Amino acid sequence: MTVAEGKLKVILGYAAGVGKTFRMLEEGQALRAEGRDVVVGYFEPHGRRDTIAKTEGLETVPRKIISYRDRPFEEMDTEAILDRRPEICLVDEFPHTNVPGTPRAKRWEDVLMLLEAGIDVITTMNIQHLESLNDQVREVSGIQVRETVPDWVLKRANDIVFVDLTPGALLNRLDRGVVYAPEKAQRAKENFFKEPTLAALREMALRQTAHEVDLRQQASPKEHERILIHITDSPSAVGLIRRGRRVADYLRADCFAVTVIPGPGLTSLPIEEREALDRHLDFARKLHIDTRILDAENAAEALVAFARTNGISQIFLSKPQRPKLRFLAAKQLLAMQVLRAACGIQVTVVADRQA
């Protein structure tokens, strides 16, 4: 008998301390009071007494101890939860990276396993961990977030709840020692916990929540919208992929990542270029983008021909930062060739923000 997939609820915030975990446990307690079978799969207390108090009476599945570099680490025991088979599982810190030696690399992969087994999951995450916003978060905060959740995973959520708190109120909580211990609170103030940064992250979270609600209210996608992202070996390709994926999500469009090489496959390229293209194509696949490799001497002609054959409505290209260099000038020439040839197709040339 086929098991119906579990439902995913994501409690979204914009920074530590806004109340995501408290809200998750509060919902768990309310469901338990209704007679539902609820367990805590993973909970990170951070020494917050009010939050810890919310676990009283909730069954907690013991964590698994993993030894790594002669040190013990505690991770969520997904297999134990599957054996227990609760109706609902509460899982804190959705974007968490598991320690090497666990069966899966990311906690969100563990959650997908629970969902596939028919277990409903309520989980928590902050907006800065959404993959497509990674570049924007780095711009507003100066910090490169390493732990990310692909957008397609968030889109699997049946319900997204935004826990809001003004930046001023959050900073007040930080000063009172509610969020972190004093030493850690001071470090936080030097990083994410600056009022302009918090305000920008809060705006991102509000926009993302509104977008997710809008997606769930739309009857059907715009089938005519299809996006092509031109992939090169340049480091700027990663940001371009995120930008194209995010636009495709907003338009509910199909998305293609296309690279053009003048030879029979990637093996004909120099090793550094080949490895970079492999990384970028693999990154695109992880974001659920359809990847293609075209064999052609003229990249502009090949891209436009592919666009016309596949009904592409928008093409995304990288804009080089310093065209005085010869190899960058060639890439700029490519952008101009595509712009001239792609009549009737919207072409977006994106600057490398990191550069």
Q: Encoding tokens for residue 278?
A: 């492999």
169 plus 286 within the same structural domain: no
Examine residue 3 and state whether it is found in any structural domain, yes or no: no
Examine residue 261 and state whether it is found in any structural domain, yes or no: yes
First-to-last C-alpha distance (Å) of the chain: 54
According to the model, what pLDDT value does residue 352 have?
Answer: 67
CA-based nearest residue to 238, from 269, 293, 289, 283: 283
179 plus 320 within the same structural domain: no
81 plus 187 within the same structural domain: yes
114 plus 64 within the same structural domain: yes
According to the model, what pLDDT value does residue 355 have?
Answer: 47
SS (H, E, C) 284-317: HHHCCCEEEEEECCCHHHHHHHHHHHCCCCEEEE
CB 17 within 8 A of CB 179: yes
Examine residue 197 and state whether it is found in any structural domain, yes or no: yes
Examine residue 171 and state whether it is found in any structural domain, yes or no: yes
3 phi, psi to nearest 5 deg: -90, 130
203 plus 333 within the same structural domain: no
CA 345 – CA 243 distance, rounded (Å) = 18
Strand partners, 346: 314
The domain that contains 135 carries what CATH number? 3.40.50.300
Confidence of residue 320 (pLDDT cuts 50, 70, 90): low
101 plus 53 within the same structural domain: yes
Examine residue 55 and state whether it is found in any structural domain, yes or no: yes
CB-based burial of residue 334 (10 Å sphere; 0-12 exposed, 13-18 middle, 19+ buried)? buried
Q: In what order do the strands lie in the sheet with 314-319?
A: 290-295, 254-261, 226-230, 314-319, 346-351
- Angle at the Cα of 61 (from 58 to 67), degrees rounded to 5? 145
According to the model, what pLDDT value does residue 97 have?
Answer: 97
List the beta strands (DSSP E) in the chain.
8-13, 38-42, 59-60, 64-68, 71-75, 88-91, 120-126, 159-162, 226-230, 254-261, 290-295, 314-319, 346-351
Q: Are strands 64-68 and 120-126 parallel, antiparallel or unpaired?
A: unpaired
Of 185, 217, 249, which one is at a domain's C-terminal end? 217
Dihedral in degrees, nearest 10, Cα atoms 7, 10, 11, 14: 180
Of 217, 247, 280, which one is at a domain's C-terminal end? 217
201 plus 239 within the same structural domain: no
Confidence of residue 217 (pLDDT cuts 50, 70, 90): low
Instruction: List, for residues 12-60, the tens digit of each pLDDT value.
Output: 999 999 999 999 999 999 999 999 999 999 998 877 888 999 999 999 9
According to the model, what pLDDT value does residue 218 have?
Answer: 64
125 plus 241 within the same structural domain: no
Examine residue 2 and state whether it is found in any structural domain, yes or no: no
167 plus 79 within the same structural domain: yes
CB 112 within 8 A of CB 155: no
User: Can you tell me whether residue 248 is helix, strand or coil?
Assistant: helix
**Mean pLDDT (whole number) for 70-83:** 96
189 plus 241 within the same structural domain: no
Examine residue 299 and state whether it is found in any structural domain, yes or no: yes
The domain that contains 291 carries what CATH number? 3.40.50.620
Instruction: List, for residues 237-266, the tens digit of each pLDDT value.
Output: 999 999 999 999 888 899 999 999 987 777
According to the model, what pLDDT value does residue 327 have?
Answer: 46
CA 209 – CA 56 distance, rounded (Å) = 30
191 plus 110 within the same structural domain: yes
Confidence of residue 225 (pLDDT cuts 50, 70, 90): confident
What range does the domain containing 191 cover?
8-217
Instruction: List, for residues 107-163, the tens digit of each pLDDT value.
Output: 999 999 999 999 999 999 999 999 999 999 999 988 899 999 999 999 999 999 999
11: Cβ contacts below 8 Å, ≥ 6 apart: 20, 23, 24, 27, 122, 123, 124, 125, 161, 163
Of 217, 246, 262, which one is at a domain's C-terminal end? 217
Examine residue 28 and state whether it is found in any structural domain, yes or no: yes
Q: Is the dihedral of CA 250, 251, 252, 253 positive or negative?
A: negative
According to the model, what pLDDT value does residue 1 have?
Answer: 62
Q: How many domains does the chain have?
A: 2
CA 278 – CA 248 distance, rounded (Å) = 22
126 plus 174 within the same structural domain: yes
